[in-house]
Protein backbone atom coordinates (compact mmCIF):
# COMPACT_ATOMS: atom_id res chain seq x y z
CA UNK A 1 0.00 0.00 0.00
CA UNK A 2 1.26 3.46 -0.90
CA UNK A 3 0.57 5.98 1.84
CA UNK A 4 1.65 9.29 3.33
CA UNK A 5 1.35 9.97 7.06
CA UNK A 6 0.55 13.15 8.97
CA UNK A 7 0.96 12.51 12.71
CA UNK A 8 0.22 14.34 15.95
CA UNK A 9 0.64 13.25 19.56
CA UNK A 10 -2.74 11.49 19.53
CA UNK A 11 -3.49 10.50 15.94
CA UNK A 12 -1.79 9.66 12.67
CA UNK A 13 -3.65 10.30 9.43
CA UNK A 14 -2.74 7.91 6.63
CA UNK A 15 -3.57 8.91 3.05
CA UNK A 16 -3.46 6.13 0.47
CA UNK A 17 -3.24 6.38 -3.30
CA UNK A 18 -4.07 2.73 -4.02
CA UNK A 19 -6.61 1.75 -1.35
CA UNK A 20 -10.13 2.84 -0.42
CA UNK A 21 -11.67 2.86 3.07
CA UNK A 22 -15.45 3.13 3.26
CA UNK A 23 -18.27 2.18 5.57
CA UNK A 24 -21.95 2.35 6.44
CA UNK A 25 -22.82 2.97 10.08
CA UNK A 26 -26.53 2.98 10.86
CA UNK A 27 -28.13 3.65 14.20
CA UNK A 28 -31.73 2.83 15.13
CA UNK A 29 -33.34 4.78 17.98
CA UNK A 30 -36.01 2.62 19.60
CA UNK A 31 -39.16 3.67 21.44
CA UNK A 32 -37.46 3.15 24.80
CA UNK A 33 -34.59 5.50 23.74
CA UNK A 34 -32.13 2.62 23.39
CA UNK A 35 -29.89 2.33 20.37
CA UNK A 36 -29.23 -0.49 17.95
CA UNK A 37 -26.06 0.08 15.96
CA UNK A 38 -24.90 -1.76 12.85
CA UNK A 39 -21.96 -1.34 10.53
CA UNK A 40 -20.61 -2.61 7.23
CA UNK A 41 -16.93 -1.70 6.80
CA UNK A 42 -14.91 -2.10 3.62
CA UNK A 43 -11.29 -1.81 2.51
CA UNK A 44 -10.62 -2.16 -1.21
CA UNK A 45 -7.03 -2.81 -2.27
CA UNK A 46 -6.67 -3.78 -5.91
CA UNK A 47 -8.96 -6.74 -6.54
CA UNK A 48 -9.05 -7.61 -2.83
CA UNK A 49 -11.90 -6.39 -0.59
CA UNK A 50 -11.95 -6.73 3.19
CA UNK A 51 -15.47 -6.68 4.62
CA UNK A 52 -16.47 -6.50 8.27
CA UNK A 53 -20.08 -6.69 9.46
CA UNK A 54 -21.24 -6.23 13.04
CA UNK A 55 -22.11 -9.50 14.79
CA UNK A 56 -21.27 -11.50 11.65
CA UNK A 57 -17.51 -11.42 11.16
CA UNK A 58 -14.87 -10.55 8.59
CA UNK A 59 -14.09 -11.85 5.12
CA UNK A 60 -11.69 -11.10 2.28
CA UNK A 61 -13.13 -11.60 -1.19
CA UNK A 62 -12.51 -10.41 -4.73
CA UNK A 63 -14.23 -7.31 -6.04
CA UNK A 64 -16.08 -9.51 -8.55
CA UNK A 65 -17.48 -11.64 -5.71
CA UNK A 66 -18.61 -8.50 -3.92
CA UNK A 67 -20.50 -7.39 -7.02
CA UNK A 68 -22.34 -10.71 -7.13
CA UNK A 69 -23.75 -10.42 -3.60
CA UNK A 70 -26.72 -8.04 -3.80
CA UNK A 71 -26.72 -7.23 -0.09
CA UNK A 72 -23.01 -6.55 0.31
CA UNK A 73 -22.92 -4.65 -2.99
CA UNK A 74 -25.81 -2.50 -1.80
CA UNK A 75 -23.96 -1.54 1.38
CA UNK A 76 -20.71 -1.04 -0.52
CA UNK A 77 -22.41 1.37 -2.92
CA UNK A 78 -23.91 3.24 0.05
CA UNK A 79 -20.50 3.39 1.70
CA UNK A 80 -19.00 5.13 -1.33
CA UNK A 81 -21.56 7.92 -0.98
CA UNK A 82 -21.38 8.23 2.81
CA UNK A 83 -17.62 8.23 3.30
CA UNK A 84 -16.14 11.73 3.34
CA UNK A 85 -12.62 10.76 2.26
CA UNK A 86 -12.24 7.20 1.02
CA UNK A 87 -8.46 7.42 0.70
CA UNK A 88 -7.85 8.42 4.31
CA UNK A 89 -7.82 6.43 7.54
CA UNK A 90 -7.04 7.70 11.05
CA UNK A 91 -4.85 5.75 13.49
CA UNK A 92 -5.22 6.34 17.23
CA UNK A 93 -1.65 6.50 18.50
CA UNK A 94 -2.79 5.82 22.03
CA UNK A 95 -5.94 3.84 22.76
CA UNK A 96 -8.83 5.93 24.00
CA UNK A 97 -12.19 4.60 25.12
CA UNK A 98 -13.94 7.85 24.20
CA UNK A 99 -15.37 6.39 20.98
CA UNK A 100 -15.88 2.85 22.17
CA UNK A 101 -19.61 2.39 22.59
CA UNK A 102 -20.00 -0.89 24.46
CA UNK A 103 -22.58 -2.03 21.91
CA UNK A 104 -20.06 -1.96 19.10
CA UNK A 105 -16.71 -3.53 19.85
CA UNK A 106 -15.34 -6.19 22.15
CA UNK A 107 -11.72 -5.16 21.73
CA UNK A 108 -9.60 -2.03 21.50
CA UNK A 109 -9.60 -0.63 17.98
CA UNK A 110 -7.23 1.96 16.53
CA UNK A 111 -8.08 2.56 12.84
CA UNK A 112 -11.12 4.69 11.93
CA UNK A 113 -12.60 6.34 8.86
CA UNK A 114 -14.15 9.75 8.25
CA UNK A 115 -17.73 8.94 7.33
CA UNK A 116 -21.29 10.12 7.65
CA UNK A 117 -23.86 7.82 9.26
CA UNK A 118 -27.56 7.03 9.02
CA UNK A 119 -29.92 7.48 11.96
CA UNK A 120 -33.38 5.92 11.95
CA UNK A 121 -35.46 7.40 14.78
CA UNK A 122 -38.41 5.10 15.39
CA UNK A 123 -39.91 7.45 17.99
CA UNK A 124 -40.34 10.41 15.64
CA UNK A 125 -40.33 8.40 12.40
CA UNK A 126 -37.31 10.33 11.15
CA UNK A 127 -34.57 9.10 8.86
CA UNK A 128 -31.54 11.34 8.49
CA UNK A 129 -27.86 11.45 7.62
CA UNK A 130 -25.42 12.65 10.27
CA UNK A 131 -22.54 14.30 8.36
CA UNK A 132 -19.81 13.03 10.68
CA UNK A 133 -19.54 9.93 12.83
CA UNK A 134 -16.39 8.71 14.56
CA UNK A 135 -17.61 5.22 15.47
CA UNK A 136 -16.38 3.32 12.40
CA UNK A 137 -13.26 1.48 13.57
CA UNK A 138 -11.66 -1.46 11.77
CA UNK A 139 -10.74 -4.58 13.67
CA UNK A 140 -7.58 -5.07 11.61
CA UNK A 141 -4.55 -2.94 10.85
CA UNK A 142 -5.24 -1.94 7.22
CA UNK A 143 -1.62 -2.55 6.23
CA UNK A 144 -2.10 -6.24 7.06
CA UNK A 145 -4.57 -6.61 4.20
CA UNK A 146 -1.68 -6.83 1.73
CA UNK A 147 -0.73 -10.28 3.05
CA UNK A 148 -4.19 -11.53 3.98
CA UNK A 149 -5.48 -14.49 1.98
CA UNK A 150 -8.90 -14.70 0.41
CA UNK A 151 -11.57 -16.33 2.56
CA UNK A 152 -12.08 -20.01 1.73
CA UNK A 153 -15.38 -21.09 0.10
CA UNK A 154 -16.31 -22.95 3.28
CA UNK A 155 -15.73 -19.94 5.55
CA UNK A 156 -17.43 -17.64 3.07
CA UNK A 157 -20.50 -19.87 3.14
CA UNK A 158 -20.54 -19.72 6.95
CA UNK A 159 -20.28 -15.92 6.83
CA UNK A 160 -23.15 -15.63 4.33
CA UNK A 161 -25.34 -18.00 6.35
CA UNK A 162 -24.80 -16.05 9.57
CA UNK A 163 -25.32 -12.81 7.69
CA UNK A 164 -28.72 -13.84 6.39
CA UNK A 165 -29.80 -15.21 9.77
CA UNK A 166 -28.58 -12.20 11.72
CA UNK A 167 -30.05 -9.56 9.49
CA UNK A 168 -33.19 -11.57 8.71
CA UNK A 169 -33.49 -10.31 5.18
CA UNK A 170 -36.51 -11.00 3.09
CA UNK A 171 -37.30 -9.39 -0.24
CA UNK A 172 -39.95 -6.98 1.04
CA UNK A 173 -37.97 -5.81 4.05
CA UNK A 174 -34.80 -5.26 2.07
CA UNK A 175 -36.53 -3.51 -0.81
CA UNK A 176 -38.36 -1.07 1.48
CA UNK A 177 -35.44 -0.33 3.78
CA UNK A 178 -32.94 -0.37 0.95
CA UNK A 179 -34.88 2.09 -1.17
CA UNK A 180 -35.40 4.48 1.75
CA UNK A 181 -31.73 4.42 2.70
CA UNK A 182 -30.56 4.78 -0.89
CA UNK A 183 -32.85 7.74 -1.61
CA UNK A 184 -31.79 9.44 1.63
CA UNK A 185 -28.08 9.02 0.97
CA UNK A 186 -28.43 10.02 -2.70
CA UNK A 187 -30.13 13.27 -1.65
CA UNK A 188 -27.41 13.86 0.95
CA UNK A 189 -24.66 13.31 -1.62
CA UNK A 190 -26.38 15.58 -4.15
CA UNK A 191 -26.66 18.35 -1.53
CA UNK A 192 -22.93 18.11 -0.84
CA UNK A 193 -22.11 18.40 -4.53
CA UNK A 194 -24.44 21.40 -4.89
CA UNK A 195 -22.93 23.07 -1.82
CA UNK A 196 -19.42 22.60 -3.21
CA UNK A 197 -20.42 24.05 -6.59
CA UNK A 198 -21.98 27.10 -4.91
CA UNK A 199 -18.83 27.64 -2.82
CA UNK A 200 -16.62 27.38 -5.89
CA UNK A 201 -18.85 29.78 -7.83
CA UNK A 202 -18.89 32.26 -4.93
CA UNK A 203 -15.10 32.11 -4.66
CA UNK A 204 -14.77 32.63 -8.42
CA UNK A 205 -17.06 35.66 -8.36
CA UNK A 206 -15.11 37.05 -5.42
CA UNK A 207 -11.88 36.84 -7.41
CA UNK A 208 -13.28 38.78 -10.38
On the CB side of 203, CA atoms within 13 Å amount to: 6
Q: Please give the distance of CA 104 from its chain centroid, rounded to a whole number.
A: 14
**pLDDT computed for residue 41 by the predictor:** 96
Helix H, strand E, coil C: the string for 104-153 is CCCCCCCEECCEEEEEEECCCCEEEEEEEECCCEECCCHHHHHHCCCCCH
Residue of 71 and 173 predicted with greater confidence: 71
Average pLDDT for 114-132: 87
| More confident call, 138 vs 206 | 138
- What pLDDT was estimated at residue 40? 94
| Range scoring the smallest mean pLDDT among 4-13, 162-171, 195-204 | 195-204
pLDDT given at position 205: 63
pLDDT band at residue 102 under the 50/70/90 scheme: very low
pLDDT at 103 over 80: no
pLDDT digits (tens, 9 = 90+) for 18-37: 999 999 998 888 877 778 88
| Residue 149: band (very low, low, confident or very high) from pLDDT cuts 50, 70, 90 | very high
Summarize the confidence of residues 112-128 as an average pLDDT: 88
As a whole number of angstroms, the distance between CA 58 and CA 104 comes to 15
CA distance linking residue 110 with residue 46, whole number of Å: 23
- Alpha-carbon distance of 22 to 77, in angstroms, equals 9
Alpha-carbon span 162 to 60, nearest angstrom: 16
pTM for the full model?
Answer: 0.86
Amino acid sequence: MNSSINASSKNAYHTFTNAEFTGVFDRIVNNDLTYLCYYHLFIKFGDKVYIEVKDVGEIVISFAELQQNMYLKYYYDLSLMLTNDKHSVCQDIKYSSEYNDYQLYNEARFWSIDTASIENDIIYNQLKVIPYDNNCYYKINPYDLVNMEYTSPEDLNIFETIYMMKYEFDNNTFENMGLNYYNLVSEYKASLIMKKEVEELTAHIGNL
